[in-house]
Structure 1
C-alpha cells in the first residue's frame, strides 16, 4: 500500500472543501483551486477536519495514482491557505531585474533585455534589483515559472554567474592551469 496515499490530509481553519463525485474544490484565504478526481480513487471527508484518499480497487493504475493524488490535494490545501514561494537570485556584474506592468524584465548579459510575462495566478516581485520572488497558490505553476526564469541564464561552473535559487550552492570548477 502507498505510504504517502495512506496519510491523512489535515484541513486548516479558513479552508473549505467541496466534494462532488468528479471534482474537488478547495477554497481558502489566498484563492480557490479545483481538480478532477480520478475514477479509480475516492475521497472521504472525516469529522475532525481531515480528508483521506481511498482506492476503489487494487489495479496498478489506481496504486500509481493513490500517492500522487494525495500529494496534489495536499498541495491544493496548503496553497490556498499559505501559498507557495520561490526566490531566485541574480549573480553577476550588471545583472538586474525589474517589474514593468506584470512583466519581468531581466538584464543578464545579453545584448537585449529579456521580458517574461506572469501567467495568471502567479505574482512576480523584485527586491533590490537582484532578488526575484515568485508566489502563487499552485505549486506546479510556481515551480514551472521559476525554472523557466532560471533557464534563461543558468549558473555557470567557472565564475558562478547566472540565475540561482536562493540558498543554491554552485560547485566551482578550477580554471586552466599554466605550465
Structure 2
C-alpha cells in the first residue's frame, strides 16, 4: 500500500484546483496546468485539501498509481503557486552566459557562440556571467531544460570545466604521471 497516496495535499492561498471527472486543472499566479488522472485513481477535494485514493479497494497497482498521481498533483500545485528553480554554474576560462529575452546566449569554449532558445513557460536569468537560473511552473520541464543546457558542455573529470548544476560535485581524476 502506498503511504505517499495517503498524505493529503494542502492547497495554498492563491491557487485553485478544479476537478471534473478524471481531469484536474490547477490555476495559480505562476500559470495554469491541467492533467488527466489514471482511471484507477479517484481525486477528491475538501476543506482546502486534495486527496488521492484508488477507485477500487484492494488493487495494489491502483495504490501505486494513486501515489504517483499524488506526487504529480503536488508538483502541479507547488509549481503554479511558487514555481521551481534550477541553478547552473559555468566553470572555465571564458565560459559565460547572457539571457536576452527568450534566448540564452552561451560561450562555452567552442569556436562559435551557442544561442539556446527557451521553450514556452520557461524563463532564464543570469545573475552573474557564470550563473544561470532556470525557472518555471512545470518541474519536469525545468529539469529537462537544465539538463539540455548542461549537455551542451558537461563537466570534464580532469579540470572540472563545463556546465554543472549548482549543487553538483564533480569527481576529479588525477593527471597522468610520468
Report the TM-score, using the length of structure 2 for normalisation: 0.95
Kept in 1: contact 2:19–2:44 (CA 8 A): no
RMSD, aligned α-carbons: 1.2
User: Which of 61-70 and 72-81 deviates more?
Assistant: 61-70
1:87-133 CA distance string (max 9 Å, x none) = 10000001011123311111101111111111000001112111011
Structure 1: segments with no counterpart, 5+ residues: none
Tell me how far apart the structure 2 counterparts of residues 114 and 30 of structure 1 sit (CA, whole Å). Answer: 28
- Partner of 1:9 in structure 2? 9
Deviation of 1:60 (Å): 5.0
What is the DSSP-based 3-state SS (H/G/I as helix, E as strand, rest coil) of the residue aligned with 1:73?
helix
Tell me how far apart the structure 1 counterparts of residues 2 and 63 of structure 2 sit (CA, whole Å). Answer: 7
CA distance 1:28–1:60, shift in 2 (3 Å): same
Deviation of 1:5 (Å): 1.3
- Partner of 2:25 in structure 1? 25
- Partner of 2:65 in structure 1? 65
- Partner of 1:79 in structure 2? 79
Q: Please show how residues 1-179 of structure 1 align to structure 2 within 5 Å.
A: 1-47=1-47, 49-57=48-56, 58-178=58-178
User: Which of 10-19 and 87-96 deviates more?
Assistant: 10-19
- Alignment length (residue pairs): 177
After superposing on structure 2, the runs of 4+ consecutive aligned residues of structure 1 that deviate more than 6 Å are none
Tell me how far apart the structure 2 counterparts of residues 9 and 156 of structure 1 sit (CA, whole Å). Answer: 41
What is the DSSP-based 3-state SS (H/G/I as helix, E as strand, rest coil) of the residue aligned with 1:127?
coil
Report the TM-score, using the length of structure 1 for normalisation: 0.94
What is the DSSP-based 3-state SS (H/G/I as helix, E as strand, rest coil) of the residue aligned with 1:116?
strand
Structure 2: segments with no counterpart, 5+ residues: none
